[in-house]
Amino acid sequence: MIAMLEEIATELGLLLLRWRAEGVTHGQWEGTQLKADADRLAHSFLVEKLQRSWPGIPIISEEDGSAHNLSRPDEYWLIDPIDGTASFCNGFDGFVTQLALIRKCQPDLAIVHAPALGLTYTATENGPALCNRKPISTAKCGVRAIVLIDNYPEPRGVARELIDCAGKIQYVECGSIGLKICRVADSVADLFVKDVKVQDWDLAPGHLILKRAGGLLSLLDGASVPYGGGFERAGLIAAANQEVFYQTTGWLKSGKTNWPSVLPIG
């Protein structure tokens, strides 16, 4: 199944690059989300491919609002045809196509493909996390200063607050939510924190990849992502290891005033 999904994602990635080169980048903002013609085209492509290959598995897509009010089946595809539409439309590389197979309220298989970067991340519940078919793992505790990742040239919002409070933190810029989670998984970064609304299709593919690479992903309060009920969440923490995770949750619980040095592990 993974090999076939890689082929589908790679084919869509080539289409995305072609569409962008041809100027298929028109879009409009709906709240905080940029919706482009390419989102609709990518959705149609993915749905057709998945239905043809696995006709018995329902599909819930970011681009299909009619599916967002449905009760969730025991097994379904959760897809985000373009995560990082603003990056796609504005000529930046940090966009992906991503999907997860959800079984019993947890991602069981996942793929995140970044065509402009030539990166394809995959994972299964019982297998390793891979990037371009090579195993990846998160950074270990204490091997370097924490590297924080977000999607602006300079840190803003909660990222700026964290750096100002914690001190010895480096910063790297990246694109889509799914890609940032994967960059924690492959040890480019150690931490990604977002305190704005996110959706399950933003989280699920990268969540499984990060988990199988040795990291942790939670809601902003440290709770597990339920992948049930509504699709919207208040934020997320993606951490490379328990040390960084507990430091971050401790900092948030302190009202963003204290970066813990003693960790409540265990």
Instruction: Give the span between the Cα atoms of 208 and 35, in whole angstroms.
Output: 26
Same domain, 18 and 125: yes
**CATH number of 100's domain:** 3.30.540.10
Query: 103 — phi, psi (to 5°)?
Result: -130, 125
Please name the residue that has the structure tokens 């989300």.
33
- State the Cα–Cα distance between residues 242 and 80, nearest whole angstrom: 28
pLDDT of res. 111: 98
Q: Is residue 265 part of a domain?
A: no
Check residue 140 and give its pLDDT.
Answer: 84
175 in Cβ contact with 151 (< 8 Å): yes
- If asked whether residues 156 and 244 sit together in one domain, one would say yes
Domain boundary among 135, 156, 177: 135
Q: How many domains is the chain partitioned into structurally?
A: 2
| pLDDT value, residue 34 | 61
**What does the alpha-carbon distance between residue 33 and residue 84 come to, in Å, rounded to a whole number?**
9
Q: What is the mean pLDDT of each run of 10 residues along the chain (266 residues)?
A: 96 97 78 75 97 96 85 94 93 96 97 98 97 95 85 94 91 96 97 96 98 98 94 96 94 92 50
Query: Could you list the residue range(s) of the whole structural domain that residue 22 is in?
Result: 2-135
Query: Using CB atoms within 10 A of its CB, is residue 143 exposed (0-12), middle (13-18) or buried (19+)?
Result: exposed
Domain boundary pick from 116, 135, 154 = 135
User: Whole-model pTM?
Assistant: 0.94
140 within domain boundaries: no
Question: Are 155 and 219 part of one and the same domain?
Answer: yes
CATH number at residue 159: 3.40.190.80
Model pLDDT, residue 133: 97
> Do 122 and 181 have their domain in common?
no
